[in-house]
């Protein structure tokens, strides 16, 4: 691994923490009955361009919609007269205990939703006892998050940039800061075409237009927070572009520098150099999952980048059973994309996942009310998971398997391509 720049060689970053939300915002977040409620609150808090940047997908957004439709198409087949007075939601991820079969997915540019929102979400994850994955494109640095969220199990997500030494330097910084696992995202040889951003004049490098100036002015509270704490900076990328002073310039350069020549042999070199658990994110094809297992990865994340890359790609939940079958027990399997309910976690585990990752629910929560909103998002998912387990007749998440899935010829399931996946799920985990 290339040497990380010594601390004295990096630009000094002022100490800062996410602002606490006011009482009104906290109370409103506490009244949120679902992730969708938090989504609506975030939409009221953010300029449309920022909300759409978080909420949107690529091109016609067919994959974005498919992610959610796939979960809705799966039906559960509950059993009753089972003792569900005590529910166990704990599990182990990458050898470490987690209070839920869930990790917080890496999501970039969180600071546009809430100042130092990365720290706020990391702290919320620590309070909930689940891992938090910090992205390369975070608006809080590797070191800042490690310092401000010392009790959180931290993972670091890295893209592969053409500046390989810079990328390896980031990974080494994560190792030195005590991050427990490394995620390499493989589904971004180039950026997706996100048309909501184009329509909103929201782009990097950022430019002011009459459309987005009026949009920002419509959210004076958001403007006040940004002015008070300063426009977000991609702190991990300091030094990537010499003399760059703002996030827009850096992000634009990063976006043009994803490495389309990154291949399996390059990934093997990272495996050889990184001493801890390695997760490969962006796997949809079972053959890629097999190669990840052969390479020595500890986990794969079945993901289509939240529908933000290849529009028309399979829903992550559709791809999950074949991936789980391909790797067996050689590594752990996580899935992201479309998780909005506790019952979705049950469905994902029944189809072969060891855990889910959640991204947008955390963005909605933190944008609505800072750390309090992020905590509410995780609380809602846990509460719904416990309720879904009780109503399904499963007292322990470790006992979720294909037997909880309804295998009838439902038209909705067939239409979403999930029916065959459900039929295959029974061979992934033995029925209890």
> Which of the residues are catalytic?
305
Residue 228's contacts (CB-CB under 8 Å, 6 or more residues apart) are: 19, 115
Please give the Cα distance from 161 to 421 (Å, whole number). Answer: 35
Residue 171's contacts (CB-CB under 8 Å, 6 or more residues apart) are: 1, 156, 158, 182, 270, 273, 274
Q: Pick from 33, 136, 126, 104: which is nearest to 384 by CA?
A: 33
Q: Pick from 155, 151, 129: which is nearest to 277 by CA?
A: 155
Please give the Cα distance from 75 to 405 (Å, whole number). Answer: 6
CA trace torsion 394, 398, 399, 405 (10° rounding)? 80
Please give the Cα distance from 318 to 302 (Å, whole number). Answer: 10
Please give the Cα distance from 98 to 234 (Å, whole number). Answer: 29
Kindly report whether the peptide bond that precedes residue 205 is cis, defined as omega within 30 degrees of 0.
Answer: yes
In the three-class reduction of DSSP (H, G, I as helix; E, B as strand; rest coil), residue 213 is classed as helix
Q: 394: which 2 tokens?
A: 């499963």
């Amino acid at each position: 691994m290339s040497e990380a720049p010594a601390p004295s060689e990096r630009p000094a970053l002022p100490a800062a923490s996410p602002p606490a939300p006011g009482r009104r915002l906290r109370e409103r977040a506490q009244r949120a009955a679902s992730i969708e409620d938090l989504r609506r609150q975030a939409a009221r808090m953010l300029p449309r361009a920022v909300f759409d940047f978080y909420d949107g997908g690529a091109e016609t957004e067919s994959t974005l919609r498919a992610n959610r439709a796939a979960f809705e198409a799966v039906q559960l087949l509950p059993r009753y007269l089972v003792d569900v007075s005590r529910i166990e939601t704990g599990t182990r991820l990458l050898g470490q205990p987690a209070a839920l079969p869930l990790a917080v997915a890496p999501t970039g540019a969180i600071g546009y939703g809430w100042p130092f929102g990365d720290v706020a979400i990391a702290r919320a994850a620590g309070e909930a006892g689940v891992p938090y994955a910090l992205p390369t494109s975070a608006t809080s640095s590797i070191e800042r998050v490690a310092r401000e969220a010392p009790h959180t199990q931290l993972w670091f997500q890295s893209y592969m940039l053409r500046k390989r030494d810079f990328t390896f330097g980031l990974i080494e910084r994560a190792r030195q800061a005590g991050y427990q696992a490394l995620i390499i995202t493989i589904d971004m040889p180039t950026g997706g075409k996100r048309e909501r951003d184009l329509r909103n004049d929201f782009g990097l490098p950022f430019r002011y237009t009459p459309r987005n100036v009026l949009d920002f002015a419509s959210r004076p509270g958001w403007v006040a927070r940004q002015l008070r704490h300063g426009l977000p900076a991609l702190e991990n990328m300091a030094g990537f572009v010499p003399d760059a002073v703002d996030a827009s310039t850096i992000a634009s350069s990063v976006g043009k520098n994803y490495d389309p020549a990154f291949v399996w042999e390059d990934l093997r070199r990272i495996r050889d150099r990184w001493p801890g658990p390695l997760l490969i994110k962006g796997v949809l094809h079972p053959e890629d999952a097999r190669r990840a297992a052969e390479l020595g990865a500890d986990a794969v994340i079945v993901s289509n980048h939240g529908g933000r890359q290849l529009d028309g790609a399979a829903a992550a939940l559709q791809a999950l059973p074949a991936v789980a079958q391909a790797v067996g027990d050689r590594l752990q399997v996580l899935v992201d994309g479309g998780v909005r309910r506790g019952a979705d976690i049950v469905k994902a585990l029944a189809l072969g996942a060891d855990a889910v990752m959640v991204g947008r629910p955390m963005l909605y929560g933190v944008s609505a009310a800072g750390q309090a909103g992020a905590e509410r998002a995780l609380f809602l998912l846990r509460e719904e998971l416990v309720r879904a387990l009780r109503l399904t007749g499963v007292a322990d998440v470790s006992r979720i398997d294909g037997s909880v899935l309804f295998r009838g010829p439902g038209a909705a399931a067939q239409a979403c391509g999930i029916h065959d996946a459900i039929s295959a799920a029974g061979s992934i985990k033995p029925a209890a």
